[in-house]
Amino acid sequence: MADSDVLIVGAGIVGLATAIAAHRCGHRVTIVDRHHTPIGASIRNFGMIWPIGQPSGPLLDLAMRSRTIWLELANQAGFFCEQSGSMHLAYREDELRVLEEFIATEGEERRAQLLSPEDVRTQTPGVNPVSLLGGMYSPLELNVESRTAIQKIWDWIAAQPGIELISGFEAAHIAPNRVESSDGRVREGDHIYLTTGSDGVTHYPDCFPSDAFTPCKLQMMRTIPQPGGWKMGTHVAGGWTLRHYDAFADCPSLPQLKERISRELPEFDIHGIHIMLSQHSAGDLVIGDSHVYGDAITPFDDDRINHLILKHAKQLVDAPSWEIDKRWHGIYLKRTDGRSLFVDQPEPGVTIINAMGGAGMTLSFGVADLVIRDPDTAIANFGSRITQSV
Ligand SMILES: Cc1cc2nc3c(=O)[nH]c(=O)nc-3n(C[C@H](O)[C@H](O)[C@H](O)COP(=O)(O)OP(=O)(O)OC[C@H]3O[C@@H](n4cnc5c(N)ncnc54)[C@H](O)[C@@H]3O)c2cc1C
């Protein structure tokens, strides 16, 4: 008999979500990670559970399923998870127009509202009111402190009967039913899930042609805890973010907005910058981000990028302190065809789940739930073998 029904390689959010989904279905689960604590993309993000960015249809459904599971799990595993909501701010007419168009078609389904500058400040007191034209409030987004939450999920999982978490296990050889570590340990499982994040392309390289996937590097910063108990309110996103998420892709005024930003801020295009802020439980602001792809990625962070991010973050939020306590970057894997994730079975008994790009925190629980319960639909909708968009 195999050590487990389900053997998962990689304990970032995708692997953890897969472990939880399989365990909830009654499977015996083993999850291994090469590190002794989580250090991948899953602890380096904003912690924004961000349904507002997902287009209506299957992806929004997965995000909403994830949202439910995040709330349940936060309760069980005991980590900070706030129903913060989000505010997209408009300081320019074209930003307001895109938000109006979005609200006209999607507002009701998403319970999102367009607010006046005064109402924006009531909902999100930390917003900078200078030149503010309005904002879109959405109540659905969650705020998770990923650097502590992922470790809490590790600890919680390790304590569950029926789940075994093995840290310090670097999977070197993967075959159906069997994973061998670089130091010769072997674990067996009836079905293997590879959730190895941006490093995952080394296994089954044929599934990851270099023109179909690209790594993406993002620079981030965190302030000291804001003095005097100052609260921003909701997550905050600027008008530049409207270019970034597929949810807004069909807004008729988006092309003009993109053209204007490219003209006024070419450096935003060069470094893939758009500005978002979240505030975590100790009062610190997490600020980002930039997007640098493929061969342009270097191990060294670029201070000019951080300077640009900070300069524009200050236009959105009126925080009492911008003293930066931490700077870092994270890397995720992304598909180059614009689709949102990758699920495939390279051979019987092995499933790859990867390439959620900038939405892994938002989608993972929903995706894992679908993959475990209905792998054929997951592969049909999100695998490499079909070409129609979901
Ligand atoms: C800066 C930044 C900000 C982001 N902000 C958000 C956000 O606010 N909201 C959102 O939804 N998403 C966000 N994302 C995206 C999200 O963080 C990622 O999509 C997600 O974390 C990817 O999870 P993962 O489990 O695939 O990867 P990882 O977290 O990198 O986990 C992969 C794991 O696999 C392990 N591993 C790799 N190879 C092996 C091996 N051979 N053997 C054993 N273990 C192995 C690694 O040690 C690692 O722990 C952001 C990403 C970044 C980088």
Contact assessment for residue 364 and residue 66, using Cβ atoms and an 8 Å cutoff: yes
Residue with tokens 């389904």: 109
- pLDDT value of residue 379: 86
- pLDDT value of residue 38: 97
- pLDDT value of residue 385: 42
**What are the CA-CA distances from residue 103 to residues 109, 250, 271, 347 (Å)?**
9, 12, 29, 44
* Position in ligand 1 atom list of the atom nearest CA 330: 53
In the 8-state DSSP scheme, what is residue 376?
H
Residue nearest to atom 37 of ligand 1 (CA): 196
Parts of the chain with a pLDDT under 50: 385-390
Residue with tokens 């590190």: 35
4-46+147-209+338-382 and 86-139+213-335: identical CATH topology: no
How much distance in Å is there from the Cα of 293 to the middle of ligand 1? Answer: 16
- pLDDT value of residue 43: 98
- pLDDT value of residue 267: 95
- pLDDT value of residue 384: 61
Q: What top-level class would CATH report for the domain 86-139+213-335?
A: alpha beta
Residue nearest to atom 3 of ligand 1 (CA): 45
Spatial distance between the Cα atoms of 167 and 386, rounded to a whole number of angstroms? 35
Which of 183, 361, 371 has most ligand 1 atoms within 8 Å of CB, for mutation? 361
Q: For the structural domain made of 4-46+147-209+338-382, what CATH number should be given?
A: 3.50.50.60
- pLDDT value of residue 308: 97
How much distance in Å is there from the Cα of 350 to the middle of ligand 1? Answer: 20
- pLDDT value of residue 1: 66
pTM above 0.95, yes or no: yes
Question: Which residues have C-beta atoms less than 6 Å from ligand 1?
Answer: 9-15, 32-35, 38, 40-42, 44-48, 50, 170-171, 195-199, 218, 220, 288-289, 330, 332, 354, 356, 358-362
- Domain boundaries in the chain? 4-46+147-209+338-382, 86-139+213-335
Among 32, 48, 389, 12, residue whose Cα is nearest residue 178: 32
DSSP 258-298: HHHHHHH-HHHHHHT---EEEE-TTSPEEEE---EEGGG--
- Please name the residue ranges forming H helices in 47-190: 58-77, 93-110, 117-123, 146-158
61 cis-preceded (ω within 30 degrees of 0): no
- pLDDT value of residue 276: 98
